[in-house]
Amino acid sequence: MFNKICVVGLGYIGLPTAVMFANHGIKVHGVDVNEKAINLIQNKQLHIEENGLQEKLETAIDSGNLTAATTPEEADVFIIAVPSPIREDKTADLEYVRKATEAITPYVKAGNLVILESTVPPRTVEDVMMPVLEKTGLEFGTELYVSHSPERVIPGKVFEELVNNDRIVGGINEKSSQLTKELYEVFVKGTIHLTDATTAEMVKVIENTYRDVNIAFANELAKISDKIGVNAWEAIKLANFHPRVNIHLPGPGVGGHCIAVDPWFIVEQQPDLAKIIHLARTTNDGMPKYTAEKVQSLLQDKGIQHGRVAVFGLAFKGNIDDMRESPSLHVLQHLEELGIDYTAYDPHIKENQLAKQTQDIHEATNHADIILVLTDHNEFKEFTPSKISGEMRTKMIFDTKNCINRAVWEKEGFEVKVIGDSKN
């Protein structure tokens, strides 16, 4: 039944998903409005970074099972995997979902299955997609099947988790859910759990909101630890030896397309009830400012009024090139507001996207007064300070991810500060 799939949105989720289906013998037509991305894919080149994607993309295209263009084609299944960002006022921007649905509508025919993979507020399938799909004239549940099956993967391990993680499928009726389950069983080894579309939408935002609240708790502990002379990292590690405790780790903020966004979907729908969720989101959104002010304080303690910062890391997490909602960008904004100069370096961001970004680590550290580690890339964990220490004015490092080899840096004469650790 599933002879051809049309995947709309070839980003961090859509492209790996398209490649997986193509490499499991199904014809896949990928669609994206980004012409540069399409041209790269057609030439077996990547516009995103993901472990194993290059090889899998080449296999998919060479087999003839994967094509890419800026317009959809007729298919048996349409998968929508487009962004669902938040606006300045913290409300969901569902225009990408709406426009993607409008784009496929002329190609949808009787018997088709439409799947939304984007993480969205509850009722998006019913209130946004279905009114658009009504234009097909097909009867929902008998001629046209619709479901929501949100991705559950982490950048850097997308292919492993696409296969092994359990998956949630919520259809507008039982047949929609069953058809979606049968489709993903092509490569999913984890259990596929069936529910309705709105519940599936709620499940995904619950998962990321739980993590956001947990991280906010850790960040609050880090702030308290800074005040009372405790190493929050050590305390959290020891607390997690309790069999029913699993506290996340603090940091300079929360980024990415899910955790930093999804809780607002719940707050938007029920602001009077989502008190804890809103507080957690505000706490995490406040960490970049806290980090910048901590840098200012460390510089002033050395008698440096403004100083120069070598910022290590722009991606929102380690070993990826994804800057979406990255707290690093907000830290930089606050540094500028405080009148503190900086140069940013990230080995995974191959092209300069910021005015004060460099591809040369020596340029970043030259005449710097402090290194600010914002992303736990392996390159930073393994970095030896002897390579750059002579270039710096002041040997000081502030590690917000607790990822560097502290003993090595201290041996080279660096003063090491770690967020949430006032014992150092």
Query: Could you tell me the strand order of the sheet in which 341-345 lies?
Result: 357-358, 341-345, 308-312, 370-373, 396-399, 415-418
Q: Rounded to whole angstroms, how far apart are CA atoms 423 and 398?
A: 14
- State the DSSP H helix or E strand holding residue 17, giving kind and residue range, or none if neither: helix 14-22
Look at the block and give the residue holding tokens 């507020």.
121
> H helices within 356-403, ranges in order?
361-365, 378-381
Torsion over CA: 172, 176, 177, 180 (sign): negative
Which 3 state secondary structure label does DSSP give 288?
A: helix
Catalytic residue selected from 56, 181, 204, 294: 204
Whether the CB-CB separation of 42 and 114 falls below 8 Å is answered with: no
Count Cα atoms within 13 angstroms, Cβ side, for 199.
Answer: 11
Is 204 assigned a catalytic role?
yes
Q: Is 65 exposed, middle or buried (0-12, 13-18, 19+ CB in 10 A)?
A: buried
| Cα angle value 266/190/118 (rounded, 5°) | 35
Q: Rounded to whole angstroms, how far apart are CA atoms 208 and 260?
A: 8
Beta strands in 87-237 (DSSP E): 112-116, 144-148, 167-171, 192-196
Query: Could you tell me the strand order of the sheet in which 192-196 lies?
Result: 66-69, 27-31, 4-8, 77-80, 112-116, 144-148, 167-171, 192-196
CA distances from 200 to 156, 203, 379 (A): 24, 5, 38
Per 3-state DSSP, the chain is made up of helix, strand and coil in percentages (nearest 5) of 40, 15, 40
Catalytic residue selected from 6, 27, 258, 403: 258
Active site residues: 204, 258
